[in-house]
């Protein structure tokens, strides 16, 4: 089984157990203004958890399953290591209350809860995927929310090592500033958190207060690329069947002297895929909100392609092949011409900024090595030449220069002062 087959296997496993397979929603959230981009499988179902929408009416069942397109901006800086991605796919199964039966051998269409969720996750991983689970974790309780003893007792039946932790690791949600949330059970394989089972028992309000939900629900999420990593016994997500086809296309374009620059190559792979999915879902580069997220990803991609001297003639081939490969699973990314159009337009705009920024960085490298001057220099590049801080950070990293917390603080201070001055100038003009 490979990238295309394993997700099908997952969805069919749950389909057999009374779930309706629901297509992924767009990366642009349709009914959740509190978040810029879709970050979790449960987002398109938020109203079903609250019973503002009735799953039985819309789906003919209280159980659904999906493979959701997700994008997490929080992980941008981590991309390039073994497992972090911006765009990723998330497999999930969901139950919207009220609970009708929590028996894992009940394959009907009623709502279920902790027992069925935990047993099915265990069955899927160990019997269907033949994986060995290292350990599981559950919510150990804190001053506000009691320990999840129900999950603990179910987990004991599975004879797995059990660990507990607090709000930080074993409590999930909400997305944005309010919504369903609850304690979690997490399955770990080869040291990786692979599957997160969220038991939505609470509603969190913007002021942080919690209310018990009338009907508890289930929201599970398994990062697809991580599952592939453990199944295909790979050291990192980029070697799995989710990426290896594109990696094989990229590799011949990487000049020999950069062949060991793995982190940069992984960033190229991640960002290439991310822009294909963002643009195909209708995001366009701009200076605000999700348009800015795309601009940032595009610019970092340009920088990496340039740093590794990847020939320009390969850009369109890379985009076309990326679209072709993923469109077998996601027909919406078929239109590579559209992606190329946005890519080229943005590249033209950025080339000027980029070339000037890199030239100035190299010319002033001694100042960047100097702790006293570093933040000010980075700020000058940004404010005078439009060169984004994240790219300066990339250049620093490539030159083994640390960007420390003091540098960040100093930069932010300069930025705030700059904002005040520009505002004043603007106000003066208005008057």
42 interacts with ligand SER by CB under 6 A: yes
Binding-site member from 219, 225, 244, 394 for ligand SER (CB under 6 A): 219
CB closer to ligand SER, 217 vs 357: 217
Binding-site member from 18, 29, 41, 285 for ligand SER (CB under 6 A): 41
185 interacts with ligand SER by CB under 6 A: no
Query: Nearest distance from residue 219's CB to ligand SER, in Å?
Result: 5
Query: Nearest distance from residue 246's CB to ligand SER, in Å?
Result: 25
Q: Kindly identify the residues of this chain, within the stretch 146-175, that bind ligand SER according to CB under 6 A.
A: 172
CB closer to ligand SER, 198 vs 278: 198
Segment near ligand SER (CB under 6 A); pick from 215-223, 276-284, 341-349, 357-365:
215-223
- Rounded Cα distance between 97 and 51, Å, is 8
If one counts every other C-beta atom within 10 angstroms of the C-beta of residue 425, the result is 10
Segment near ligand SER (CB under 6 A); pick from 213-221, 271-279, 302-310, 412-420:
213-221
Q: Which two tokens stand for residue 131?
A: 């994986």
Q: 3-state secondary structure string, 225-240?
A: HHHHHHHCCCCCHHHC
- Angle in degrees, CA 92, 229, 252, rounded to 5: 125
27 interacts with ligand SER by CB under 6 A: no
Binding-site member from 92, 97, 183, 388 for ligand SER (CB under 6 A): 92
Q: DSSP secondary structure string, 368-385?
A: HHSTTTHHHHHHHHHHHH
Segment near ligand SER (CB under 6 A); pick from 8-16, 23-31, 108-116, 218-226:
218-226
Residue nearest to ligand SER (CB): 221
CB closer to ligand SER, 102 vs 219: 219
198 interacts with ligand SER by CB under 6 A: yes
Give Cα separations from 387 to 123, 274, 355, 356 (angstroms).
51, 22, 10, 9
Please tell me the count of residues contacting ligand SER according to CB under 6 A.
10
Query: Nearest distance from residue 85's CB to ligand SER, in Å?
Result: 13
Q: Which two tokens stand for residue 362?
A: 């190299």
Binding-site member from 24, 170, 196, 392 for ligand SER (CB under 6 A): 196
User: What's the chain's Rg over C-alpha atoms?
Assistant: 24
Q: Which residue has the tokens 């094989």?
A: 248
Query: Nearest distance from residue 46's CB to ligand SER, in Å?
Result: 11
Query: Nearest distance from residue 199's CB to ligand SER, in Å?
Result: 10
203 interacts with ligand SER by CB under 6 A: no
Q: Is the peptide bond before 98 cis (omega within 30 degrees of 0)?
A: yes
- Residue 414 contacts residue 406 (beta carbons within 8 Å): no
- 3-state SS class at 54: coil
217 interacts with ligand SER by CB under 6 A: no
40 interacts with ligand SER by CB under 6 A: yes
Those residues whose C-beta lies under 8 Å from the C-beta of residue 325, and which sit 6 or more positions away, are 245, 246
Rounded to 5 degrees, what are φ and ψ at 242?
A: -75, -20
Return the DSSP state at 155: H
CB closer to ligand SER, 179 vs 388: 179
Those residues whose C-beta lies under 8 Å from the C-beta of residue 340, and which sit 6 or more positions away, are 316, 319, 320
How deeply is 128 buried, as exposed, middle or buried, from its count of CB atoms within 10 A (0-12, 13-18, 19+)?
Answer: middle
- 3-state SS class at 406: helix
Q: Which two tokens stand for residue 62?
A: 């209280």
Q: Which residues bind ligand SER (CB under 6 A)?
A: 40-42, 92, 172, 196, 198, 219-221
């Amino acid at each position: 089984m490979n990238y295309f087959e394993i997700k099908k296997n997952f969805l069919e496993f749950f389909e057999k157990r009374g779930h309706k397979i629901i297509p992924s929603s767009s990366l642009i959230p349709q009914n959740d203004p509190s978040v810029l981009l879709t970050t979790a499988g449960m987002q398109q179902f938020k109203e079903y958890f609250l019973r503002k929408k009735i799953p039985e009416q819309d789906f003919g069942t209280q159980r659904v399953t999906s493979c959701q397109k997700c994008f997490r901006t929080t992980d941008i800086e981590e991309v390039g290591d073994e497992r972090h991605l911006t765009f990723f796919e998330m497999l999930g199964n969901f139950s919207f209350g009220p609970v009708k039966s929590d028996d894992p051998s009940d394959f009907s269409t009623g709502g279920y809860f902790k027992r069925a969720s935990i047993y099915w996750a265990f069955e899927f991983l160990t019997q269907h995927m033949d994986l060995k689970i290292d350990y599981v974790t559950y919510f150990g309780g804190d001053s506000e929310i009691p320990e999840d003893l129900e999950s603990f007792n179910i987990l004991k039946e599975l004879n797995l090592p059990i660990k507990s932790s607090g709000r930080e690791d074993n409590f999930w949600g909400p997305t944005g500033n309010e919504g369903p949330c609850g304690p979690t059970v997490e399955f770990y394989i080869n040291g990786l958190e692979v599957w997160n089972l969220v038991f939505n028992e609470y509603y969190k309000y913007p002021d942080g207060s919690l209310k018990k939900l009338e009907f508890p629900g289930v929201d599970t999420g398994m990062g697809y690329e991580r599952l592939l990593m453990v199944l295909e016994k790979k050291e990192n997500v980029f070697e799995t069947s989710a990426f290896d086809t594109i990696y094989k296309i990229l590799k011949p374009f990487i000049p020999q002297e950069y062949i060991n620059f793995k982190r940069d190559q992984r960033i190229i792979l991640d960002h290439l895929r991310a822009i294909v999915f963002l643009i195909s879902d209708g995001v366009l580069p701009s200076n605000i909100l999700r348009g800015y997220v795309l601009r940032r990803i595009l610019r970092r991609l340009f920088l990496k392609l340039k740093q590794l001297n990847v020939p320009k003639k390969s850009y369109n081939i890379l985009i076309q092949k990326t679209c072709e490969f993923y469109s077998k699973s996601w027909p919406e990314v078929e239109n590579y011409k559209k992606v190329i159009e946005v890519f080229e337009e943005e590249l033209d705009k950025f080339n000027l900024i980029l070339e000037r920024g890199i030239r100035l960085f190299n010319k002033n490298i001694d100042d960047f090595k100097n702790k006293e001057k570093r933040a000010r220099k980075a700020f000058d590049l940004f404010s005078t030449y439009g060169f984004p801080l994240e790219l300066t950070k990339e250049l620093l990293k490539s030159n083994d220069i640390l960007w420390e917390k003091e540098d960040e603080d100093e930069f932010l201070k300069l930025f705030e002062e700059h904002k005040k001055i520009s505002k004043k100038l603007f106000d003066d003009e208005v008057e």
